[in-house]
Chains A and B, each alone.
Chain A
Amino acid sequence: MDPLAELMQAVKARGRGAAIGYVCSYTPEELLEASGESYTRVIGSNSTELADSAIPTFTCRFARRCLQQMLEGELKRVVGAYTCDTVRGVASIASWRGVESCFINIPRDISKKRSLEYLVRELEKLAEFLGAAEGGVEEAIEVCEEDRRAVMRLAELRAVEEPPVTGVEAYLVELSGMLMPKRRHLELVQELLDTLPSRSGATGARVMLIGSTLTNIKLLEAIEAEGCVVVYDDLCTGCRFYWGLAPASGKPLERIAARYVSRAKCPCVTPFSERAEYITEQARRFRVQGAIFLLQKFCDPHLFEYPALRERLESIGVETMLFETEEGEAEVEKLRIAVGGFIERLGG
Chain B
Amino acid sequence: MRASRLASAREISYAIGARVLAAKLYREQGGKVAWVTALSPVEVLYAAGIMPLYPEQYSAACGAFKTSLKLVEKAEEAGYSQDLCSYFRCHIGHVLSGEGPLGGLAKPDILLLSGNLCLTRVKWWEILSEKLKAPLFHLDIPFVAEEDSWHLEYVRWQIEELMEFLAEAGVEVTLDSLKRSVELSDEASKLWNEVMDLRKVRPCPMGARDAFTSMFLIVTCPGHPVAVVLLKRLLKEVRERVADGRGALEEEKFRVMLDNIPTWYDLWFVDYLEERGAISVAETYTYSVWSPRLDFSKPLESLARKYLYAGLNESFERRIKAALEVAKEFEVDGAVIHVNRSCKPYSSWAYELKNALRDELEIPSAVFEADMTDPRVFSREQVRTRLDALIEAMSERARR
Residues of A within 8 A of B (CB): 53-56, 58-59, 82-86, 88-93, 95-96, 103, 105, 107-109, 114-115, 118, 121-122, 125, 267-268, 271-273, 297-298, 300-301, 303-308, 310, 324
Contact = CB atoms under 8 A, between A and B. Distances in A.
The 10 closest A-B pairs by CB, nearest first: A89-B348, A307-B79, A304-B123, A105-B142, A96-B316, A303-B81, A121-B150, A108-B140, A272-B126, A92-B316
Contacts of A53: 351
Given A85-B119, A108-B115, A96 B320 contact: yes
B352 A96 contact: yes
Contacts of B84: 300, 303-304
Contacts of A267: 123
B120 A59 contact: no
A95 B81 contact: no
Contacts of A272: 123, 126-127, 130
Nearest to B142: A105
A152 B138 CA distance: 32
Interface in B99-131: 115, 118-120, 122-124, 126-127, 130
A326 B217 CA distance: 41
A298 B83 contact: yes
Contacts of A298: 83, 344
Interface string B83-107: 1110010000000000000000000
B317 interface: yes
B36 interface: no
B351 A58 contact: no
B347 interface: yes
A118 B154 contact: yes
Given A95-B317, A108-B138, A85 B344 contact: yes
A107 B120 contact: no
Contacts of B130: 272-273, 308
A77 to B, nearest CB: 15
Contacts of B344: 56, 58-59, 85-86, 89, 298, 300
Contacts of B85: 300
Contact of A109 (B120, B126, B140): B140
A85 B150 contact: no
Nearest to B122: A108
Contacts of B345: 85, 88-89
How many interface residues does chain B have, given as a range?
35 or more
Contacts of B83: 58, 297-298, 300, 303
B370 to A, nearest CB: 11
Interface string B177-213: 0000000000000000000000000000000000000
B316 A56 contact: no
A243 to B, nearest CB: 21
B138 A301 contact: no
B120 A85 contact: yes
Nearest to A267: B123
B132 to A, nearest CB: 13
A56 B350 CA distance: 8
Contacts of B142: 82, 105, 107, 118
Interface in B306-356: 315-317, 320, 339, 341, 344-345, 347-352
A53 B339 CA distance: 13
B351 A55 contact: yes
B54 interface: no
A102 B79 CA distance: 37
24 contacts: A54-B352, A56-B341, A56-B348, A56-B351, A58-B369, A59-B344, A84-B119, A85-B118, A89-B349, A92-B315, A92-B349, A96-B352, A108-B115, A108-B140, A109-B140, A114-B157, A268-B119, A271-B138, A301-B123, A303-B80, A304-B80, A307-B79, A307-B80, A308-B130
Most buried by A among B119, B124, B145, B150: B119
Given A53-B351, A85-B345, A304-B84, 11 more contacts: A56-B369, A86-B344, A92-B315, A93-B316, A96-B317, A108-B138, A118-B154, A122-B150, A271-B126, A300-B85, A308-B130
Given A268-B119, A300-B119, A303-B84, A118 B124 contact: no
B78 interface: yes
Contacts of B315: 92, 95-96
B148 A307 contact: no
Contacts of B154: 107, 114-115, 118
B272 interface: no
A85 to B, nearest CB: 5
Contacts of A59: 344, 348
A119 to B, nearest CB: 10
Contacts of A122: 150
Interface string B60-78: 0000000000000000001
A11 B369 CA distance: 36
A82 B144 CA distance: 10
B310 to A, nearest CB: 13
B143 interface: yes
A305 B88 CA distance: 13
A202 to B, nearest CB: 32
Most buried by B among A93, A109, A118, A267: A118
B320 A88 contact: no
Given A59-B348, A308-B127, A310-B79, A105 B317 contact: no
Contacts of B118: 85
Most buried by A among B85, B126, B148: B126
A231 B76 CA distance: 31
Nearest to B115: A108
Interface in B121-174: 122-124, 126-127, 130, 138, 140, 142-143, 145, 148, 150-151, 154, 157
B349 A300 contact: no
A121 B123 CA distance: 26
A125 B148 contact: yes
